[in-house]
Amino acid sequence: MSPVGGIVPVTDGIRAVPSPQREDAAVATEHPGQAPAAGPADDPLPEAIALARGAAEAGLGLKLLGGLAIRVLCPEFPPRLRAGQDMDFACLSKGRKHVASYLEKNGCQPDRRFNNLNGDRQMYFTAPSGRPIDVIVDRLNMCHTLDLRPAFGRLPLTIDAVDVLLSKLQIVELNEKDARDTLHLLSGVPVTGSEAAGSDGGGASIDSDRFGRLLGADWGWWRTVTGNLKKLPALADEHPELLPPNPPLDAVGQSRSLLELAESASKGVKWKLRANMGDRVRWYELPEEVDH
């Protein structure tokens, strides 16, 4: 499949090093038209917020990422529920052991073998509800590497809004879920400069300065992100169901503004050297999907 094609089949979860223990209890991949029925009992958000808020009150850094982070940042939009959905968090390596201890004290069972082998990058737990918990440490390694540390403490319950956005736009084979998440985020959170991006609560915003710096320093990032931003207007037009009802912001307009920002961002020497090779050399990774 072309990495700049349309929407690919939906898959959920963080793609990283597989956990043998979790593979035995894998949740079946969701396919369009075959999603299992889901209702309020399947919603992981209350449990996830309780864990993130409890960590914040204890002075620990445990932040939501992915679709649950978008729901915290855009609470008025209807959720997309899925039976068996997991909870994705991030923490910093310097507080990793304290975060692991906190989760265990709150009834989360660790995958000790996996965590002992890979805990410097990622940890797995099972929540009291039985939901899987992924905890990414410092960096999200998928199609590209996103360093979460620079803006990790800006928001109380989630990673920074621009990092939530980048975690979606860095996916080369964009699927329906990720396109929907991206359009929801751009429908509810404004793009501003870094001076406004540190606000909390409903004042969260997407840091255009950090966005531009990252894309101007790395051609691979730039190539994937701009490719996805170019897709969004057509996807929104062809699939209006991907947009939330009555959004306060124009997601397509914001995507076009971000594309202009990426195009005009100051480019470094390494960016220009890599740009000379273009698509002849693969610029992204395709990590395997983790079943757990």
Cα-based distances in Å from 155 to 62, 205, 213, 216, 225: 11, 10, 20, 25, 23
What lies within 8 Å, CB to CB, of 216 at 6+ separation is 222, 265, 266, 267, 268, 271
pLDDT at res. 42: 82
Give the mean pLDDT of 15-33. 37
Token pair for 134? 């992924």
pTM: 0.85
Q: Give residue limits of the domains in the chain.
A: 42-280
| Strand (E) or helix (H) holding 61 | none
pLDDT at res. 15: 44
Per-residue pLDDT band at 155 (split at 50, 70, 90)? very high
Higher pLDDT, 41 or 254: 254
Helix (H), strand (E), coil (C) string for 119-188: CCCEEEEECCCCCEEEEEECEEECCCEEECCCCCCCCCCECCHHHHHHHHHCCCCCEHHHHHHHHHHHHH
Q: Is the pLDDT of residue 265 over 90?
A: yes
Token pair for 200? 């909390």
Residues 85, 42 contacting (CB under 8 angstroms): yes
Q: Which of 116-130, 133-147, 200-214, 238-252 is predicted with the least confidence, judged by mean pLDDT?
A: 200-214
What lies within 8 Å, CB to CB, of 58 at 6+ separation is 102
pLDDT at res. 184: 98
pLDDT digits 0-9 by tens, 98-124: 999 999 999 999 999 999 999 999 999
Token pair for 278? 């273009």
Looking at residue 204, its amino acid is A
- Maximum distance among all alpha carbons in the chain? 52
Cα-based distances in Å from 152 to 75, 97, 159, 166, 198: 21, 17, 6, 14, 10
pLDDT at res. 208: 96
DSSP category for residue 242: G
Token pair for 78? 């209807």
Q: Distance between CA 285 and CA 252 in Å, rounded?
A: 27
The average confidence (pLDDT) of the chain is 86
pLDDT at res. 36: 46
